[in-house]
């Protein structure tokens, strides 16, 4: 195996008071537990010089109401990325994370469909727009190629300069 990309995730809106045990488990299961055990299962098959790329979130550095459990799960992905970069370095495997900001995907379509909320999201980026899937995919593709061979243990912000 050359490249493993962990990109599944859920991002429910829930205050701390509204976060049930079931929701907590669901978010951690999808956003943290699944990537952890997928890496573990794939590890014997990843060749020297291979890549592990985890999807994180810009919300690990930006406070957002009703996103605590999501941000916490992605913060754990950042820490996992650092730990595994150190662990897999001896095998020549790089481990990095990509931290998107607001991206125009199905996950965000409900609220980005409202003009006022979209305008607010656009105003948070120094590039004055919402990201597109290719903005993230291009960074993932770079991390997957040999040109990134000297990059490991990094969380790369792909938010268009959100909240600088």
Helix, strand, coil shares, percent, the chain, to 5: 50, 15, 35
Contact 48, 91 (CB under 8 A): yes
* Separation between Cα atoms, residue 99 and residue 96, nearest integer Å: 10
CA 79 to the chain's CA centroid = 12
Cα(5)–Cα(44) distance, integer angstroms:
16
Tell me which residues are annotated as active site: 70
β-pairing verdict for 155-158 and 3-6: unpaired
């Amino acid at each position: 195996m050359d490249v493993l990309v962990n990109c599944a995730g859920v991002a429910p809106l829930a205050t701390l008071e509204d976060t049930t045990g079931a929701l907590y488990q669901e978010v951690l299961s999808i956003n943290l537990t699944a990537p952890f055990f997928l890496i573990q299962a794939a590890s014997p098959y990843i060749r020297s010089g291979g890549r592990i790329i985890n999807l994180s979130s810009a919300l690990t550095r930006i406070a957002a109401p009703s996103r605590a459990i999501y941000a916490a799960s992605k913060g754990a992905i950042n820490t996992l990325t650092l730990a595994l970069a150190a662990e897999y370095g001896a095998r020549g495997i790089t481990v990095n994370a990509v931290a998107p900001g607001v991206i125009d995907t199905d996950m965000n379509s409900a609220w980005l469909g409202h003009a006022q909320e979209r305008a607010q999201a656009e105003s948070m980026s120094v590039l004055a727009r919402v990201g597109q899937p290719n903005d993230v995919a291009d960074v993932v593709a770079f991390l997957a190629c040999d040109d990134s061979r000297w990059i490991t243990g990094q969380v790369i912000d792909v938010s268009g300069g959100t909240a600088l």
